[in-house]
């Protein structure tokens, strides 16, 4: 018989209050530590990601099952070429008709939301998390996290890095090698380090092959 039910209940309530306090800090984009966030460990899905990455191409149905289990949500007709990498997996949400090429990395300490018809080239990193500049604030892996949103019909080129808190607008193209540190509006071509808008996408692009600036 449990002789200390009241004490046990008290411990649970204290733990829940602590967890809610840390989640509030994370949602506000404030610095939090590895120890503070350790209660989130069960949401990580490394074994499922590992199995997906090692499932033969011929086993398409099994790959689909693993991807649905590993990620927060997955749309229809989704292609994600292995290997891919995810800190959690459970915080990644992908829409319909998605294509992700090899070595796509999700640093998904908070949500990464990807719309419909998005195409992502090889070796792209989507990171919701950064670290303070001063080393004393990086003790115990101090970090901050902000969600990433990629709207419908976006195309992201090879070796792009998308940083915390960024939203990329509908239909936009991000040139290869860019570092996206701020929001990108809809229907533009943006390139560079840091990534900047170079021109709008117009009907003239219906008759051209490339997305290069004129």
Which residues does 197 contact at the CB level (< 8 Å), separation at least 6? 184, 185, 188, 189, 190
- Domain residue ranges in the chain: 1-30, 43-206
What residues act catalytically? 131
pLDDT band at 213 (very low <50, low <70, confident <90, very high): very low
The C-alpha atoms of residue 3 and residue 46 are separated, in whole angstroms, by 39
CATH architecture of structural domain 43-206: 3 Solenoid (2.160)
Residue 6 — pLDDT band, cuts 50, 70, 90?
Answer: low
pLDDT digits (tens, 9 = 90+) for 71-87: 999 999 999 999 999 99
Mean pLDDT of the region 166-171: 98
Model pLDDT for residues 20-71, shown as the tens digit of each residue:
999 999 999 999 999 999 999 999 999 999 999 999 999 999 999 999 999 9
Q: Residues 145, 110: contact at Cβ < 8 Å?
A: yes
Using an 8 Å Cβ cutoff, are 185 and 197 in contact? Answer: yes
């Amino acid at each position: 018989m449990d002789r200390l039910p009241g004490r046990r209940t008290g411990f649970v309530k204290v733990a829940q209050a602590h967890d809610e306090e840390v989640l509030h800090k994370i949602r506000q984009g404030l610095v939090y530590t590895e120890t503070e966030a350790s209660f989130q460990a069960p949401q990580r899905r490394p074994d499922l990601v590992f199995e997906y990455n090692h499932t033969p191409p011929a086993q398409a149905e099994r790959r689909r099952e693993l991807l649905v289990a590993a990620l927060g949500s997955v749309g229809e007709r989704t292609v994600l070429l292995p290997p891919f990498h995810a800190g959690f997996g459970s915080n990644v949400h992908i829409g319909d008709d998605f294509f992700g090429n090899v070595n796509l990395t999700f640093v998904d300490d908070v949500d990464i939301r990807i719309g419909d018809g998005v195409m992502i080239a090889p070796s792209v990193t989507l990171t919701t998390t950064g670290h303070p500049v001063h080393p004393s604030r990086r003790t115990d892996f101090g970090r901050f996290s902000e969600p990433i949103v990629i709207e419908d019909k976006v195309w992201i080129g090879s070796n792009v890095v998308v940083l915390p808190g960024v939203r990329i607008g509908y239909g936009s193209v991000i040139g290869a090698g860019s570092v996206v540190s701020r929001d990108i509006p809809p229907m533009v071509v943006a390139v560079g380090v840091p990534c900047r808008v170079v021109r709008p996408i117009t009907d003239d692009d219906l008759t051209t092959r490339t997305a290069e600036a004129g």
